[in-house]
Structure 1
Amino acid sequence: MTEAIEQFFATLPARAPQVLRAPLTGTLRIDLADDGRTEHWVLRMRPGAVDVDQGPAEADAIWYSSVDLFDRLVTGRAHALAALFRNESTFSGRVMLFLAFRRFFPPAPDTRDPREVAREKVRRTR
């Protein structure tokens, strides 16, 4: 497990009030594979809160990923939905849990809000 992944999971409870605003409740298990071993992270999500635990557990949804891919996700070098579409990871269960969870991932480095880019362009043309 990389330090970035460990830190990512450690910060989830503090970040949950800003990220998990939808009325969604459920358990997401993230299975991270590396060299024939699999680590299980269990996230119990509810509006404004998430509890993080480790170990195999029953879940409403399961997301399987390599450690390498997940490290790229938590550092903004990859996108979760794109990884699923490219079959780099797999998901089963309640898709809304995945869609809510992916909001925890940071944007790619140097990514800017398109609304701010448009505002700057308008200011330059005045």
Structure 2
Amino acid sequence: MGATAAQYLQQLDAGRRPDLPETTAGTLRLDVRGDGCTEHWYLTVRDQHVHVTRSADDADLVIRADHLVFDRMVRGELHPGAALLRNELTLQGNMHLLMVLRRIFAAPAHARHPRELGRAALARRSASVAREGQS
């Protein structure tokens, strides 16, 4: 996926997102710097829905970074926590919402859910035990 953060946020579906915790609610403002200006994106998260607008209003969490950093996060190439540790972005407010942003953005290419990995390992182990029992 070669989308930029702006393209991704413009087309973000406001429908229900079961990957978001039901109890999570808050607002995030993304300050995307680039080309000598700053674009503001305002995300409202509530009841497993994300509503996106363009606003510089105060938010529970304000995230500031270069547009290239946001583009990499949108494509799943950069985890927001790693970007924070590398000082590629700055935060002001409720840091808990940073992990919500990770769920809103795309998963890394070829990523699999941990339960899926566990099931696959269990299936391999069961097959191995069955083959040993037949010997």
Helix, strand or coil at the partner of 1:13 = coil
Deviates more, 1:53-62 or 1:103-112: 103-112
How many residues align structurally?
124
Counterpart contact for 2:3–2:75, Cα < 8 Å: no
Match of 1:50 in 2: 50
- How far did residue 92 of structure 1 move? 1.1
Structure 2 unaligned blocks of 5 or more: 131-135
Distance in 1 between residues matched to 2:35 and 2:73, nearest whole Å: 19
* 2:14 alignment partner AA: P
Helix, strand or coil at the partner of 2:101 = helix
Helix, strand or coil at the partner of 1:100 = helix
Structure 2 length-normalised TM: 0.78
Based on CA coordinates, which of the two structures has the bigger radius of gyration?
Answer: 2
Match of 1:105 in 2: 105
Structure 1 unaligned blocks of 5 or more: none
Distance in 2 between residues matched to 1:109 and 1:49, nearest whole Å: 24
* 1:94 alignment partner AA: N
Note closer, same or farther for the CA distance 1:120–1:4 as it changes in structure 2 (3 Å cut): farther
Pairing 1:115-126 to 2, within 5 Å after superposition: 115-119=118-122, 121-122=124-125, 125=128, 126=130
Structure 1 length-normalised TM: 0.83
Q: Identify, as 1 or 2, the structure richer in helix.
A: 1
Counterpart contact for 2:80–2:98, Cα < 8 Å: no
Moved beyond 3 Å, runs of 4+: none
Please give the root-mean-square deviation of Cα atoms over the aligned residues, in Å. 2.1
Percent identical residues: 31
- How far did residue 56 of structure 1 move? 1.1
Distance in 2 between residues matched to 1:108 and 1:53, nearest whole Å: 25
Counterpart contact for 1:12–1:104, Cα < 8 Å: no
Counterpart contact for 1:61–1:97, Cα < 8 Å: yes
- How far did residue 120 of structure 1 move? 5.1
Pairing 1:1-126 to 2, within 5 Å after superposition: 3-9=3-9, 10-14=11-15, 16-113=16-113, 114-119=117-122, 121-122=124-125, 125=128, 126=130
